[in-house]
């Protein structure tokens, strides 16, 4: 079964063709990041306009690259939540029009479920149930994936998402948006023990995260040094901050898996590209005799191949929408 997938929830316009949820036939991603970088973050109005300009060429290219015509497509999957509402509406309305004019069924797909599904592409033998850490620019969840379309949130952030904390710390150090990627690179040359940073815990909620205090601690560290005219080694600051975030993420995640007797660990979302997170969880899972899965780096960020994968399982579970499909800025993964 061939699915044409469309993604426009944030600042990437993407389309892909995926067969049977696992084989990517084509995948096109048009990123707007250069333009948003000028403003230090995503400007929703600009994002919507760029999606409207890019959607036709991106979908056409995905079909061209797959050497398929629309008539050979079995379903159209589209991200309908969560995300920037104006951005989501571009993809949703385009997909609705395409479905209505062609008679091809329309499959609404949740953005975070799709991030999880990127793992089905990178790890062909992976099947639920498993415990998944989903960490992106807007969300940080620990999710028990009971089945392809049945999920339970075990833990979540109480304030900032992990990606957001990375981006804000990076911005304070003058790195361009989205700074998480750059911070990860700079951290490679630093000492993770150079600065002592807090490991915030949420009382009575051992699987929940809190990153805002950690973010403030690193911002204070930088500001205090600047006021004293001291120059801190950026590599050490980045390494210490990255270590603290990864420590919080992996400690709670492993605890959640152990407490739920889950031997399969999976990571997803933009932050799953983080080198230390990948390394730490590979090592910690091995020590405990657990299996660890992660998406290939090019599938960690927003793309439509993952939408095509999740869309396949949504279709099989009967999740098919009509012309009244709407977009939603927020929606639980459950
Ligand atoms: O999943 P994603 O592409 O978009 C959302 O759905 O939010 O996640 C983007 C987030 C950004 O905050 C970005 O800085 C972060 O993922 N990110 C990273 C790395 N690569 C991307 N954070 C830490 N280390 C990385 N290597
Ligand atoms: Zn995303």
Q: What is the mean pLDDT of residues 281-295?
A: 98
Average pLDDT, stretch 105-113?
Answer: 98
pLDDT, one tens digit per residue, over 204-231 is 999 999 999 999 999 999 999 999 999 9
pLDDT value for 97 = 98
Q: What angle do CA 174, 169, 162 make, to 5 degrees?
A: 140
Confidence category of residue 274, pLDDT binned at 50, 70, 90: very high
- Atom 23, ligand 1: residue with shortest CA distance: 180
Question: Which pLDDT does position 116 carry in this prediction?
Answer: 98
90's CB contacts (< 8 A; 6+ apart) are 8, 13, 48, 51, 52, 55
What average pLDDT score do residues 220-245 get?
A: 96
Q: What is the pLDDT of residue 101?
A: 97
Q: Is there an atom of ligand 1 within 6 Å of 82 CB?
A: no
274 lines ligand 1 (CB under 6 A): yes
The answer, yes or no, to whether any atom of ligand 1 lies below 6 A from the CB of 236, is no
Buried/exposed 68-104: b ≥16 CB within 10 Å, e otherwise:
beeeebebbbbbbbbbbbbbbbbbbbbbbebbeeeeb
pLDDT tens per residue, range 77-108: 999 999 999 999 999 999 999 999 999 999 99
What does the pLDDT look like over 166-195, one tens digit per residue? 999 999 999 999 999 999 999 999 999 999
Question: What confidence score (pLDDT) does residue 194 get?
Answer: 98
Cα 272 to Cα 253: distance, rounded to the nearest angstrom: 13
H/E element, 15: strand 12-19
Percent of the chain with pLDDT over 90: 100
- C-alpha of residue 97 to centroid of ligand 1, in Å: 31
Q: Measured from the CB, is residue 83 less than 6 Å from ligand 1? A: no
Q: What percent of the chain has pLDDT over 70?
A: 100
Q: Which ligand is nearest to the CA of 11?
A: 1
Write out the two tokens for 199: 């490991």
CB 118 near ligand 1, within 6 Å: no
- Stated as kind and residue range, the H or E segment containing 106 is strand 106-110
pLDDT digits (tens, 9 = 90+) for 10-37: 999 999 999 999 999 999 999 999 999 9
| Dihedral-angle region of residue 277 (phi above 0 means left; psi in -120 to 50 means alpha; beta otherwise) | alpha
Residue 66 has what pLDDT? 98
Residues surrounding ion ligand 2 at CB below 5 Å? 136, 302
Average pLDDT over residues 109-113: 98
- Ligand 1 pocket residue status of 302, Cβ below 6 Å: yes
The span from the CA of 118 to the CA of 210, in Å, is 26
| pLDDT for the residue 131 | 98
* pLDDT given at position 102: 97
Q: What are phi and psi of 49, to 5 degrees?
A: -60, -45
Model confidence pLDDT, tens digit, residues 317-334: 999 999 999 999 999 999
User: For residues 305 and 24, what is the distance between their CA atoms, to the nearest angstrom?
Assistant: 6
Least Cα distance to 269 among 179, 136, 148, 79 occurs for: 136
Residue 140 pLDDT class (50, 70, 90 cuts): very high
pLDDT in tens, 125-137: 999 999 999 999 9
Question: For 188-209, b where at least 16 C-beta lie within 10 A, e where not — what string?
Answer: eebebebbebeebebeeeebbb
Q: Whose CA is nearest to atom 7 of ligand 1?
A: 137
């Amino acid at each position: 079964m061939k699915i044409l997938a469309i993604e426009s929830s944030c600042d990437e316009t993407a389309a892909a063709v995926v067969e049977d949820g696992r084989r990517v036939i084509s995948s096109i991603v048009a990123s707007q990041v250069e333009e948003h970088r000028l403003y230090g973050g995503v400007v929703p109005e600009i994002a919507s306009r760029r999606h409207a300009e890019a959607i036709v060429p991106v979908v056409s290219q995905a079909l061209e690259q797959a050497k398929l015509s629309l008539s050979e497509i079995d379903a159209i999957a589209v991200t309908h939540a969560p995300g920037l509402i104006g951005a989501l509406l571009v993809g949703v309305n385009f997909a609705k029009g395409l479905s209505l004019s062609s008679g091809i069924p329309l499959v609404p797909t949740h953005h975070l479920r799709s991030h999880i599904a990127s793992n089905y592409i990178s790890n062909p033998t992976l099947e639920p149930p498993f415990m998944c850490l989903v960490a992106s620019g807007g969300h940080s969840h620990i999710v028990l994936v009971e089945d392809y379309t049945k999920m339970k949130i075990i833990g979540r952030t109480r304030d900032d998402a992990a990606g957001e904390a990375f981006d804000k710390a990076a911005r304070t150090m003058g790195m361009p948006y989205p700074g998480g990627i750059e911070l990860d690179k700079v951290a490679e040359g630093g000492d993770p023990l150079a600065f002592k940073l807090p490991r915030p815990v949420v009382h009575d909620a051992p699987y929940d995260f809190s990153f805002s205090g950690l973010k403030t601690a690193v911002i204070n560290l930088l500001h205090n040094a600047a006021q004293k005219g001291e120059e801190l080694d950026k590599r050490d600051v980045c390494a210490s901050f990255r270590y603290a975030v990864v420590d919080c993420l992996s400690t709670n995640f492993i605890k959640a898996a152990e407490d739920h007797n889950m031997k399969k660990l999976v990571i997803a979302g933009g932050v799953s590209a983080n080198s230390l997170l990948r390394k730490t969880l590979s090592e910690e899972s091995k020590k405990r005799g657990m299996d660890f899965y992660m998406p290939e780096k090019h599938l960690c960020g927003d793309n439509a191949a993952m939408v095509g994968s999740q869309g396949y399982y949504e279709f099989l579970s009967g999740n098919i929408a009509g012309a009244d499909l709407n977009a939603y800025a927020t929606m639980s993964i459950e």
